[in-house]
Amino acid sequence: MRLIRKSLLILLAFIAMVLAVAWFIPADFSIESSIEVNQPLIETQNEFSDPEAWKEWTNWKINDSVQTDETVLAFIPVPGMGDAGFSGKLYQFKPVEVISEELWSFESGETGSKINWKSSGTLSYPLGRIYGLFFSEIRRSEMEARLDSLRNYLESTIDVPPAPLDQPATLQPE
């Protein structure tokens, strides 16, 4: 009986410690990433804003309602930004619930256009906050992989004019 009581107290102490640690871990997160695309700004925005094109570079499902069994992105233009920005909500329910605001903005870059992506949200207590210890790095690497995939997709859609054939040199009379 004493062993069971001692084991139960150790288990309760461990749970209390985990809950206390989770209480002090920040619940909010904000992660940003950007990428340069060798494509004109207007074409980048047009391709990005086409929901059918998303399946070419991401496995997110674009939807306007929350589904609890998968990741869903509700995608809407950002008020006041016109065509310069788009916003969405990303719902992830595996392994813990994470609901984040996604904001994409576009600007002219050095070689074409620049896509900026900011993800911010709140992690639930207590499991979400404990997951938050690893979440930022996991999310950042996911964002970079998706942006790289987006760049590859966008640059593959560029219409490249055919290179002119080399004309044989003709001799000119002197």
Q: Which pairs from 143-147 meet CB under 8 Å and 24+ separation?
A: 143/31, 143/33, 143/117, 143/119, 144/33, 146/57, 146/58, 147/33, 147/34, 147/35, 147/115, 147/117
- Domains of the chain, CATH where assigned: 27-156 (3.30.530.20)
d(CA 13, CA 7): 10
pTM over 0.85: no
Tens of pLDDT, residues 116-153: 888 888 888 888 888 888 888 888 888 898 899 889 98
d(CA 77, CA 61): 17
For 28, 132, 158, 160, 167, the CA distances from 97, given in Å and listed in that order, are: 13, 11, 38, 44, 63
- Other beta carbons within 10 angstroms of residue 95's beta carbon come to 9
Tens of pLDDT, residues 29-63: 899 999 999 988 888 888 877 777 777 877 665 54
